[in-house]
Amino acid sequence: MLEVSKISKHYSTPRGLLTVLSKVTLSLAPGDAVAILGPSGIGKSSLLYILGGLEPPSAGSVSLGGRNLYELASSELAGFRNTQIGFVFQDHCLLPQCSVFENVLVPTLVARAGDTGQRADFTGHALSLLEQVGLSDRIEHRPGELSGGEKQRVAIARALIRRPHLVLCDEPTGNLDPVSAGAVASLLLDLHRRQKNILIVVTHSARLASQFPIRFELADGQLNRIES
């Protein structure tokens, strides 16, 4: 379960305190796929980073699987994030000098040395994920040799390599043409259905949000459920 309780976020700016989130509460279970819709500047990335353990809220708590993220020591939080949470960003953030296959394995590099069984498992899982995202014939390519949609599919495979319980996507189709965007969104949902994780996508695209079974709008620091 992901339990978000009364999180607020304020930034101090030269013009005073800017409140972007105001007592946001949300409870999601494995298998939930959620889109959070809102215009640029409304606080979507702030919310996603807080949910992902990357940025502490000004108030409130976030717990995943019963662990309160911001009560963990920073080294513990880093390990927790690495194994439990997968991220996909608008800019794929792939390592340009590494192959597609190596990029997918990056989150596994912190696995304990000598854990050869797990390493072999990750290798097989990476190949399987690359097949599922339709890139089996691109595994030796560098990111510079891929289309935008293909890069984003690598980023999705990388986000899923540790079999995270929570997958967070920040405008994952923001840089793609409509056809590639539709394909990436379908793929995210398809993989989500197979893995039974919690999937949260934040986006300004009503079209992307409409593909998700649960939708919220972020406005005035609050999450409002969009009823279909």
Ligand X SMILES: Nc1ncnc2c1ncn2[C@@H]1O[C@H](COP(=O)(O)OP(=O)(O)O)[C@@H](O)[C@H]1O
Binding site for Mg ion (CB under 5 A): 45
- State the DSSP code for 168: E
Residue type, 100: V
- Candidates 22, 28, 37, 38; binder of ligand X (CB under 6 A) is 38
β-pairing, 67-68 vs 59-64, is antiparallel
Q: Which of these segments, 39-47, 93-101, 152-160, 177-185, binds ligand X (CB under 6 A)?
A: 39-47
Radius of gyration from C-alpha coordinates of the chain? 18
Residue 180 sits in the site that holds ligand X (CB under 6 A):
no
- Minimum Å distance from CB 211 to ligand X? 19
Q: Which of these segments, 33-41, 104-112, 123-131, 174-182, binds ligand X (CB under 6 A)?
A: 33-41
Which residue number, 104 or 208, has a Cβ lying nearer to ligand X?
Answer: 208
Residue 20 sits in the site that holds ligand X (CB under 6 A):
yes
Q: Within 36-195, where are the H helices?
A: 44-51, 74-84, 100-105, 116-132, 148-160, 178-195
- Minimum Å distance from CB 78 to ligand X? 20
Say if residues 35 and 23 touch (Cβ distance below 8 Å).
no
In the list Mg ion, ligand X, none, the entry touching 199 (Cβ below 5 to 8 angstroms by class) is none
Which residue number, 45 or 84, has a Cβ lying nearer to Mg ion?
Answer: 45
- Minimum Å distance from CB 214 to ligand X? 19
- State the DSSP code for 9: E
Tokens of 192: 């989500």
Residue 18 sits in the site that holds ligand X (CB under 6 A):
yes
User: Number of helices and strands (H, E) in the chain?
Assistant: 7, 10
- Candidates 43, 52, 86, 164; binder of ligand X (CB under 6 A) is 43
In the list Mg ion, ligand X, none, the entry touching 46 (Cβ below 5 to 8 angstroms by class) is ligand X
Q: Around 197, how many Cα atoms within 13 Å sit in the side-chain half-sphere?
A: 25
Which residue number, 9 or 125, has a Cβ lying nearer to ligand X?
Answer: 9
Q: Which of these segments, 11-19, 120-128, 139-147, 193-201, binds ligand X (CB under 6 A)?
A: 11-19
d(CA 211, CA 199): 13
Angle at 163 between CA 162 and CA 167, to 5 degrees: 100
List residues near ligand X by CB under 6 A: 11, 13, 18, 20, 38, 40-46
